Amino acid sequence: MRLHAQHQPIALMRTDCHVCRSEGLSPRSQVLVIAGDRQVQALLYQIESELLAPGQVALSEAAWDELGIADGDPVLVRHTPVLESLSGVRRRMYGQRLAQADMAAIVRDVAKGRYTDVHLAAFLTATAALPLDAAETIHLTGAMVDVGERLRWRAPVVVDKHCVGGLPGNRTTPLVVAIAAANGLVMPKTSSRAITSPAGTADTMETLAPVELDMDTLRRVVDAEGGCVAWGGAMHLSPADEIFVRIERELDIDTEGQLIASVLSKKIAAGATHVVIDIPVGPTAKVRSDADARQLAQRLQDTGAHFGLAVRCLLTDGTQPVGRGIGPALEARDVLAVLRNEPDAPPDLRARAALVAGAVLELGGAAAPGTGTELALATLARGHAWDKFQRICAAQGGMREPPVAAYVEPLLARRAGRVIGIDNRKLARLAKLAGAPESRAAGVLLRAPLGSAVERGEPVLLVHAETPGELAYALDYARTVEDVVVIG
Amino acid sequence: MRLHAQHQPIALMRTDCHVCRSEGLSPRSQVLVIAGDRQVQALLYQIESELLAPGQVALSEAAWDELGIADGDPVLVRHTPVLESLSGVRRRMYGQRLAQADMAAIVRDVAKGRYTDVHLAAFLTATAALPLDAAETIHLTGAMVDVGERLRWRAPVVVDKHCVGGLPGNRTTPLVVAIAAANGLVMPKTSSRAITSPAGTADTMETLAPVELDMDTLRRVVDAEGGCVAWGGAMHLSPADEIFVRIERELDIDTEGQLIASVLSKKIAAGATHVVIDIPVGPTAKVRSDADARQLAQRLQDTGAHFGLAVRCLLTDGTQPVGRGIGPALEARDVLAVLRNEPDAPPDLRARAALVAGAVLELGGAAAPGTGTELALATLARGHAWDKFQRICAAQGGMREPPVAAYVEPLLARRAGRVIGIDNRKLARLAKLAGAPESRAAGVLLRAPLGSAVERGEPVLLVHAETPGELAYALDYARTVEDVVVIG
C-alpha cells in the first residue's frame, strides 16, 4: 500500500498472526524486523483484515528503505533487545552527569533507530533542564562523530562556516562558499535543514540546485570547484543529529550543548580544519545578549580545540532579519540578487556575507588580517562569486529557478509611522505557519525594514503560501498578534 | 481494516487526496478529525493505494471509539490549532515554575489528547529533572481532578487506601476492601493498572472479576456491598493520569510529585474522605530510606489537607516481596489463599493486609485506636472477609478463577546456603520480561523467601509465561544477572 510515515519504520501484522501470539506482541510494541544481515526497529500496529495473510507483514516506506528488500522476501519479527543505554538517560534525568561511555552508548542506540520518540524527548529535555557541561558536550560531540561517516580531504586547510541561526533570512552560506572557492580555498559545505526556523541553508539551496549529494558526487564537486553547498543529512556525517533535530523541532527547543555538538560534530565529520561561526545577537534572535554570545563562542572554541578544530566566532547584529525573504525560495531570490549585483539586491545581506566570507578568507590564509571583507566585496562586485556559484550548481546537478508561491497576501500597516521594531520570532513563526520550510515557495517577504517610514494601509509584509489552508493558518496567526512589525 | 494502535488515534489518507494537498498535510502531521460535535486529534499517515478513495479517511480503533461514528459518516480533517500550553512546558524545561493557570492549561490539553508522546515525555522529564514543588504538586493534583469525573457519596466517611508500590506482590487491596466492607465501612476502591511494576491491583483483580465498571455499576456494587475493587481508568476519574502513566511506563520513571498528584487526584475524584497510604521502605523498594519515606508521607499529608482529605501513612518493611506470586494471576492466588484461610497461605501477606486494614478501620472510625489490626485478623479468620469478597466479585459481574501459565521454568540455586538478599527491582523486571502485566498468567513465583535455607540445584524462583518467546526473553535476562536472589 506504500505507507508513508516520514522517518518512522512501521510493521503491520494481523492480530491473529501466530508470530504475534507466540512472541506476545501487542499494538505499539517495538519490534525488530530482520532481513539477512540488515534489521530495523519498527513500531507494530495490528489489523483485523484479509489484506494480510497470517504470518505476513506490511512495512512503511522507511522500513522498506532500511531493509533494502523486495515484496515477498522473508523477514524475521521479534522483540527488541533490552535497551541498556536508557539507564543512562534515566540517571541524567535525575541530575547525574554522563561519562563518555554512557554518552557513546546512548548516541549509538539513537543512531541505530532504537530510541522511541518518548526516549528521545526525555534525553533532550533532560539536557535542557540541566544543561550539558563542558565534558558532556565533548562526549556528545565525539559520540556523534563516531556513529557517522567522516570525510577526509587532501588539502591541509579546509574551511567551513556556520550561523547559529535565530535570525530569519540570514542566508549568507551560498555567498560565502562562492567567495571562498573563487579565492582558491577548499570549502566542502554541508548544511542542515531547518530545526525550528522557517528555512535551513539546505532548504534554501535546494530551490537552486540538488543538495542530496552522495559522497562521490560531493567529492567530485569539491575537487572540481573547491566548494559545494550540500545537505549534510544525505552524507550521514552525523546521523544521530538528524534524529535529535526532528524531536527538537517538535519541542521547539535548541539547547546550547546540543547546538555545539550538532554544529561541531558535522564540521569535524566533514573534515574541516578552520571554521567561522556567525552568532547574531539581538533581543529576539536565538542569542539575546553579548554575554550569552561570548559564553557560547568560548564553549564552541574550547570544544572545537579538543578535536583540533580552529574556531573563530563573529558576534553580529541580530536585531532584524537579513535580506528581505524568509522561507526557502524567497531567501534564494535574495542570494541570487546579491550574486548578480542587481541594483535592488539587499545591501544588508551583501554586507553580512562579505563580513563572514572575509573572516573565512583570513582564517583560511587567503587574505591578510584585516583585508578579508574588502577582498570578499571585490569578489562579488567583479562577478567572480556569481561565476563560481553557477559552476557549483551545475556540478551539483544543474541550476534551477526557485519556485513561486500560488497565494500571496499582504499584511498592511495599521498606522503611519516609522518601523521601530521587528519580532524575529513571530516573523519566523508566521513564515512557518505559511508552510515553510516544507512548502518551498512559502514564507514572508519583509517590505519595511527597521527605520523605514510607512503609510497607513501600506503593505509591511507579504505572506506567501502554496495552499489556501496554509495561507489562512498564517493570516489567522497574524491577526492574533499585533507586534510582528512595530510602527512607532 | 480495524487498525489496532492501542490508545493512538490514527488517520490514514491518500497522498494525492485533495484535502491533504490543500491543507498542506504531510505524513506524521497531527490532524483534527471532526464529526459533529465530537473531535479527536490523530496522527496522519498517508498511503498510495486504491484501498482508499481520494477524500476518504481510514481510522484506528481508538479514533472510531472517540468519535462514536459509523462507517461512511462524513468527517472534517484539518490542522490542529496552535498548542499554547506548550510554552509552559518549555518554560518548565528551562527551570521556571508553573503557576496554577499554566498547569491547568497543560493538563486540559493532555486530557483532550492534544499532546504528542514527545510533548508528554518532555513535560514528565522536566518535572523529574527539577522536581515539582509543593505549590506545583497542588496545582497538578487539582488540575487532574478538574478534567475528570468526580464521585460523590452519601456516607460522611468514605475510606480508601493506596500503596506506593515498588514492592512486588504486595497485593493487600482486595483483602483490605473485603475487611473494611465486612466491618460496615464504605470503601469504593478504584485501582490503577501497573505503571512500571509487573502488576497493578486492577490487573490482579481482573483475573478474579470484571474491573472495568461504569459509574452506575460501581455505584450499585458499593451501595449493595459497601466496597468494590474497580479499575479507575474506566471511571475517567483522572483521565490525564492514564495518559501520563503510559509515558512514565515507557520511560520507567515515577517521580514524587507525579506520584502524589496521581494518587491523590484519584482519591479526591473518587470521593474519599480518609485515606491510608502504605509506603514500603527498603533498599530495592521504590522508597529506599526512612528519611525519603517520611518526606513523601509529609507531602502526601500536606497536599491531601489542601483538598480536605485526611491522609495517614504507614511506613512498612520493603526489604522483600510480600506473598509469593509476582504477576496478576499469581498474586490473585495469594489473595485467595489468605481469604480462604488456606494452611499454606502466605503469612506475610496476611499480616500486611491486617496492618493496613487495621489503620483503615481506625481512621474510618470502625475500630478504636490500637485495635484495628486485631479486628482485621479476626474478620479474616472468621471467614467474613471471604464472604464479603465473593459478594463483591459477584456484584462486579461474577467471580472467576485466575488463568494458569502454559510455560513454567524453574531458576535453580547455584549453591547451597541461606537466602540473604532479594532484589525487588530485578525480580520485577524478570516478571515483566516474562510478560506481566499484559500476559495475565505470567510472572514469577518466589520459592525461597529471605532467611530460608536452600540446597544447590533447588528451585528458588519459577518463571511463568504464556508464550515461549516471553519465557525465553525472561530466562535470557535471568542468565545475565546473578543476584536476583542472593544466597550467602
Q: Are residues A175 and A139 in the same domain?
A: no
Q: Report the pLDDT value the prediction gives residue B168, as an integer from 0 to 100.
A: 72
Mean pLDDT of B482-487: 85
Question: What is the rounded average pLDDT of the residues B94-102?
Answer: 97
Segment B402-430 shows an average pLDDT of 92
Q: Are residues A204 and A133 in the same domain?
A: no
Residues B298-308: tens digit of each pLDDT: 999 999 999 99
Residue with cell 476519574: B237
Cβ-based contacts of B13 with chain A (< 8 Å): none
For the segment B143-164, what is each residue's pLDDT rounded down to a tens digit?
Answer: 999 999 999 999 999 999 998 8
The backbone torsions φ and ψ at residue A174, rounded to the nearest 5 degrees and listed phi first, read -60, -35
| Alpha-helix residue ranges (DSSP H) falling in B147-272 | 173-182, 201-206, 215-225, 239-251, 256-269
Domain assignment present for residue B59? The answer is yes
**Would you state the pLDDT for residue B253?**
87
Yes or no: say if A414 and A481 are a contact pair by the CB < 8 Å rule: no
Active site residues of A: 254
Q: How far apart are the first and last CA of chain B?
A: 57
Statement: residue B326 has pLDDT above 70? yes
Looking at CA atoms only, how far is residue A472 from chain B in angstroms? 10
Residue A240: inside a domain: no
B54 vs A311, more confident: A311
Query: For chain B, what is the total number of helices (H) and then of strands (E)?
Result: 18, 18
CA distance B417 to B410: 18
Predicted confidence band at B166 (pLDDT cuts at 50, 70, 90)? Answer: low
Phi–psi pair at B190, nearest 5 degrees: -110, 130
Whole-Å CA distances, B365 to B155, B184, B225: 13, 10, 18
**Domain CATH for B379:** 3.40.1030.10
Environment class of B84 (CB within 10 Å of its CB; exposed 0-12, middle 13-18, buried 19+)? exposed
Are B47 and A86 a contacting pair at CB < 8 A?
Answer: no
Is the Cα torsion angle B120, B125, B130, B133 positive or negative in sign? positive
Residue A204 and residue A101 share a domain? no
* Chain B CB within 8 Å of residue A21 CB: yes
Query: What is the average pLDDT across B383-403?
Result: 98
Whether residue B254 is predicted with pLDDT greater than 90 in this model: the reply is no
The confidence score (pLDDT) of residue B133 equals: 97
Q: Do B298 and B422 belong together in one domain? A: no
Same domain, A164 and A254: yes
DSSP string spanning B241-287?
HHHHHHHHHHHT---HHHHHHHHHHHHHHTT-SEEEEEEEE-TTSSB
Taking an 8 Å cut-off on Cβ atoms, the answer to whether A79 and B469 are in contact is yes
Q: Are A282 and A318 in contact (CB under 8 A)?
A: yes
Contacts of B441 (CB under 8 A, 6+ apart): B327, B328, B329, B330, B402, B403, B404, B405, B406, B464, B466
Residue B30 has pLDDT above 80, yes or no: yes
pLDDT of B415 over the 70 cut: yes
Confidence at residue B193, expressed as pLDDT on a 0 to 100 scale: 85
CB B384 within 8 A of CB B361: no
Question: How close does chain A come to B350, measured CA to CA in Å?
Answer: 33
What Å distances lie between residue B222 and A63, B156, B216, B329, B376, CA to CA?
51, 14, 10, 24, 20
Question: Which ranges of chain A have pLDDT less than 70?
Answer: 22, 166, 195
Cis, peptide link before residue B437, omega less than 30° from 0? yes
B78 in reach of chain A (CB within 8 A): yes
Among the listed residues B403, B406, B408, B405, the one whose alpha carbon sits nearest the alpha carbon of residue B447 = B408
Tally the domains of chain A. Answer: 4
Same domain, B415 and B332: no
Partner-chain contact B23 A470, CB within 8 Å: yes
pLDDT value, residue A300:
97
Q: Which residues of B have a catalytic role annotated?
A: 254
Q: Residue A452's domain spans which residues? A: 407-487
- A418 part of contact set with chain B, CB < 8 Å: no
**What is the rounded distance in angstroms from the CA atom of residue B386 to the CA atom of residue B392?**
10
Q: Nearest-CA residue of chain B relative to A251?
A: B119
A202: part of which helix (H) or strand (E)? helix A201-206
**The C-alpha cell that represents B462 in the structure block:** 519459577
pLDDT digits (tens, 9 = 90+) for A34-56: 999 999 999 999 999 888 998 89
Q: Do B59 and B34 share a structural domain? A: yes
- Whether residue A113 sits in one domain with residue A220: no
The B residues from 199 to 238 touching A (CB cutoff 8 Å) are: none
User: What confidence tier does B234 reach under pLDDT thresholds 50, 70, 90?
Assistant: confident
Of the partner residues A6, A27, A125, the one whose CB lies closest to the CB of residue B93 = A125
Q: Which amino acid is at B41?
A: Q
A78 CB near a chain B CB, below 8 Å? Answer: yes
Q: What is the mean pLDDT of chain B?
A: 93
In a domain, A245, yes or no: no
Hey, is the C-beta of A248 within 8 angstroms of any chain B C-beta?
Answer: no
**Confidence (pLDDT) at A381:** 98
Domain boundary among the residues B49, B79, B109 is at B79
Top residue of B114, B251, B476 to mutate, by most chain A CBs within 10 Å, is B251
> What CA–CA distance (Å, rounded) separates B14 from A484?
37
Please, are residues A209 and A397 in contact by the beta-carbon 8 Å criterion? yes
Instruction: Identify the band that residue B293 occupies on the pLDDT scale cut at 50, 70 and 90.
Output: very high
Is the residue at A271 inside a domain?
yes
Q: What is the CA radius of gyration of chain B?
A: 24
Inform me whether the C-beta atom of residue B64 falls under 8 Å from chain A C-beta atoms. no
- A138 shares its domain with A191: no
